[in-house]
Structure 1
Amino acid sequence: MVPKHARYVIIGAGIHGLSTAWHLAKELRARNRGDGRDILVVDKAQIGAGASGIACGVIRNNYFQSAMRELMAHSVSVWESDPQAFAYYPVGYMQIAPESMHADVVQIYEEQRAIGYKSVLIEGEEDCRAYMLDLFSDWQAPGVTVILHEKRGGYANNIKSLQGLAGKTQAEGVRIATGVRVTGLRLDGGAVTAVETDQGTIQCDHLVVAVGPWIRDIWAMLELPDRISVTTPDGRIHPDRPMWTYWALQEGTIEVNPNEFMDNRGNFPPVLHVDSDAPLYDDVDGGLITDRMWGIYYKPDFFVGGVQGGTAPYVIDRPAEQVAVDPYGTKSPEFVVKDDFIRMWTSALAHCHKRFEGKRHLYRREPSGGIGAFTPDSFPVFDVFRQNAYVIADSNHGYKMLGVGALVAKELLGEPQALLEPFRFSRYATGKLHPTSNSPFPWS
């Protein structure tokens, strides 16, 4: 049974919900204003049952938007605070790109340097090729003119990191109640007074919403609009924009021995992200897959065995209210990856490395993928609604943003955080939207 009252109720036991609970408990105790026993986390399934639990686990700072870059630098520091507990592997991250993205990547590097985030920039096709061949003797992707090699970042095991985070949260006295479905919210005088669940009603003083792709449903319970007007930086107003758009995530694994994917020095490589405008041909039959910009990312995966990665997601072309979020992830036949992803991703791997040629038959034929709820500009919203409901709508950036919970905890206790200020809901009315890059990925 759930308690009848909790000062703080957090919906969602993924990366954001657990991080917020952990940091809030520590803040309450440090300020002599309470402790973890004042906090209840509820989840309709179990820890990591949503997007956090199917994440590829990449941790990076590679963002064209300065606000995202500063926020991610903060989050990387939290990952680095306890690599063992978070199952975090700080191998670094590489953005490998063509000339059409050259200026974007240079800008990212310069702004990383300005905030003290260690990275290396390589420019020019000849120097880029030499740099990649120094890492991988079988590198063969043409047309690369700029590389940003982040020395921090890397990847983590999604489930183990969530278990480690849950352990830290429970050690602070926080209760995590799983198998509890939220069915409604009680609003009185413009504030949330209670959370209704299938196991009883929980009176609360503060609500934190950290539900990933289920944000559409809690947003409706808060009686917030499903369509809004968006002002772009040029001052134009675009009325009746959907607040939420769902995208299908494309990720998978080939079952090569992860130890085969080392660099020339026998070290495990950084996470590799390759964007390219070179034509991509099928590795099996030689047919043209695309002559437009494409991108992939990949890394060794010792947790399931193989090399894991993905491609850019695609928009689910229907109104958000018609998208079935449940069953979620690999349990949803509609949104797991199909043969077109397998063809594209394995061919792209072979395009980059000779060692991956002819390896499509090693693709692990098991359900993979999921869906994410994206905001109108594909960047997060961190803000308070209905006086006491703090909404974390991460627009599918979530897993790597481990540090957001630390900032939200301070805001819950009355300390506005500058790193979160650019992500207020008001930006859609004021036109202070985040700039977009030339990457094929909506979150870059």
Structure 2
Amino acid sequence: MFSLLSVPALEVPIDAGDTAWLLAAAALVMLMVPGLALFYGGMVRSKSVLNMMMMTFAALGVITLVWVLVGYSLAFGDDVAAGVLGSPREYFGLQSLVSGEHNWMSVPTILFACFQGLFAVITGGLIAGAIADRARFGAWMVFCAFWTVLVYAPVAHWVFDASRTGHVGGWLINKVHVIDFAGGTAVEICSGASGLALALILGRRVGFGHDAMRPHNLTLVMLGAGLLWVGWFGFNAGSAFGADQNAAVVFAATLVAGAAGAGSWLVVERLRDGHATSLGAASGMVAGLVAITPSCGSVTPLGAIVVGLVAGAVCAWAIALKYRYKYDDSLDVVGVHLVGGMVGTILVGVLGSAGAPTGVDGLLYGGGMTQLGRQSVGALVVLVYSFVASGVLGLVIHKAMGFRIDPDHEVQGIDLVVHAETAYDLHTTGGTRAGSIFGHHS
């Protein structure tokens, strides 16, 4: 994140404009949660839509609480382990941030903490798409809690927590000098690698590769995608932490990359399948936004178009890998978020321009291979750690309490079995009470 690359002095005066912008940006990121719920909910089968949306909202509840208690401190507390982890007690419960003393940015630190916590929420919510239709709800909530502490918070410390006066931060940003403006590694690569680990642990859905598992409501998908795009402006431009030229440049990059991603995905679809689909448009838009997330502060608008075009085309190809290698990534979290995050992170080292907010030239601007190497190291490290740590955590939960629902319940429909509800109550009559329909599932 751009502002964390600087070394501000302590006791920075609060700026009303910057604070107002970050409040709005945080609200936009929060909007991404229902946006993601609609996007994912429309992509699953009708018998799983409520469970999919519940998993997204569960991530919001669980991760927010864990973040306030200890997650923020682990991610942004003073380093206690050679750049690997922040102090778990420094900001416990955000108690020390209530008074507003010792603000080191032009916005209240407690607002910064909440903004960062919503990044953790979105990352966790994205993982749910990889295991849609087959995960136990209770096990998912347990996973979210421990994943925040063991996976997300350490990675956020590595790539977001820059050293400043009186504070030692994470190793990837301070020692390797990886540039990740808004979360290509900590959000996108982390969610994709974590989702892949869980998909392998839970195994394939009943009928995967044989039965049709098409999205049940593309209207919801398109609506959710639109809300995600709106929220992404808060996600990326909010990471400038100021209402200034940097935020405006990032806003422009986010706008054009989403458009370019949708366009290139549709071209690939048209050439490959003969049709340009609404699902492709939504997926390509998300792929472009995923890729611009780490690079939005490092490229010009023209560079952002290239990032979006590359990401849309590459991710359109990558989603087919699950059929070739027979892993069941239900909603293409790996193909879009892991692959798109890798594309955007690495392209910083190729398309980066010193005229952009982060001020670093990539390979095509005469910067040589140095930044490209740094970006590649950062992407690879986060991928491996997120995959291994999430895999170990998932295995422990799977052995301890079972992570996958019974196959018969999966076939019957996870909404009805787990939540005693259906998304579309199409067969009730005016005189029938809901309790009489679902009472035997209570």
Structure with the higher strand share, 1 or 2: 1
Q: Structure 1-normalised TM-score? A: 0.26
Q: TM-score with structure 2 length normalisation?
A: 0.26
Greater helix content: 2
